[in-house]
Structures are given as structure tokens and as C-alpha cells.
Amino acid sequence: MKIILVIVIVICLTVLLIGVFLWPTVYRYDKISLEGISLPLKINRITGKTEIFFWGSGWTSYKEGKIENEGKLFPPDELAKVEVTGSLSSDIFHAEFYNGSSWNIERAMFQLTIREEDGTVRWKRKYSNIPPYRLPISPFSKGEINISVTDIENVGSWDFHIVELRGRKVE
């Protein structure tokens, strides 16, 4: 009985020593591709917590395919200082921003409406970029976002508007 206890203790100590001295870090580093952009990813080997590194935002939690802590909603007075123009060609919606606010734009959600030749609505869809696709857009600077869209052949007309912007106030 004592020999089994000694063997179990030796095995546990060996595993512990290997973990402390030979395992390089608590984090395992990898990369993830979001909208064609390769980003650093770190995974805590003990807890499994996953984070993605976004330029301008730092390490951001990533859980079940969703980015957490994605900034606060823009206040109405700051939202009014953001100018957006859009164009639609082939299968890409292209939005150009001028951020006249004092906030970083980290996430943008649009509603795009496609109409038939007779003016009836073919569809309305909401699109949101996944950071960091051309974001963040710093205060008093320009930026752009391209979003892939489908079912836009033979469009009569279209329009878009911003549903929400998220970001952080720059101090």
C-alpha cells in the first residue's frame, strides 16, 4: 500500500515539475483569420479563456465565436459627428467613414435595403463588421469597411443607414 502511495506521489511531482519547468507559458499562442486578416490568438492552457489581439484595442475576450467587450454605444452627440458614404458594386458594400468624434470606432452595424425596379423591397439585412477589419478608426481620421453581400443582381435602388456604432472615448 505504501509503495502505491509513493508511486502516485512521484508521478504527481514529476508531472508538476514538468509543468512548471518545461511548459513554456500558461498561454498557447495561435492565429485566427477574421475576414481574411490573420490575428494573434492566445488561449489560457488552464482556464481555456481565449483572447484575440486587435491593433488599437489590445487583447479582447473571444467566446463561442463572439467578441466580448466590444466597446460602448456611441452617444448621440458623438454619432452626429461621424460621416458615412456608401457604394454597392458587384457583391461588395463599401462604406467610407470620416470620424469627427472624440471616440475610436471599433464596430459598425448597417442596415442595407435593396429594392426592385418597381420600388418594392426585395430585402433588408443588417451587416456588422468584425473588428479589426479596417478598424478602429481614430478620431478625426478616415477609414473604410467592405462587407460581402448577396442577391443584388438587377437592383432597382438601394439605401443604407447606420444602426449602431461602438467604440471607446479617447482620453
Q: For residue range 14-54, list pLDDT tens digits in order.
A: 888 777 666 667 788 888 776 566 778 888 877 888 888 87
pLDDT of residue 93: 85
Q: Is 166 helix (H, G, I), strand (E, B) or coil?
A: strand
Element (H, E) at 75: none
Rg (CA), the chain: 24
137 and 58 co-located in one domain: no
Q: For residue range 131-159, list pLDDT tens digits in order.
A: 555 567 889 999 888 887 887 788 888 99
- Return the closest-CA partner of residue 85 out of 141, 145, 135: 145
For residue 106, give the CATH number of its domain: 2.60.40
Characterize 145-165 residue by residue with b for buried, 16 or more Cβ atoms within 10 angstroms of its Cβ, and e for exposed.
bebebeebeeeeebebebeeb
Count of the separate structural domains present in the chain: 2
At 96, the amino acid letter reads E
Asked if residues 89 and 147 have their Cβ atoms less than 8 Å apart, the reply is no
Q: From CA 49, how far away is CA 109, in angstroms rounded?
A: 27
Identify the domain containing residue 29 by its residue range.
25-69
Distances (CA, A) of 111 to 29, 96, 144: 36, 15, 16
Residue 119 has pLDDT above 80, yes or no: yes
45 and 85 co-located in one domain: no
Does residue 16 lie within any of the structural domains? no
Q: For residue range 45-102, list pLDDT tens digits in order.
A: 778 888 888 765 677 777 766 665 567 889 999 999 999 999 888 788 888 989 999 9
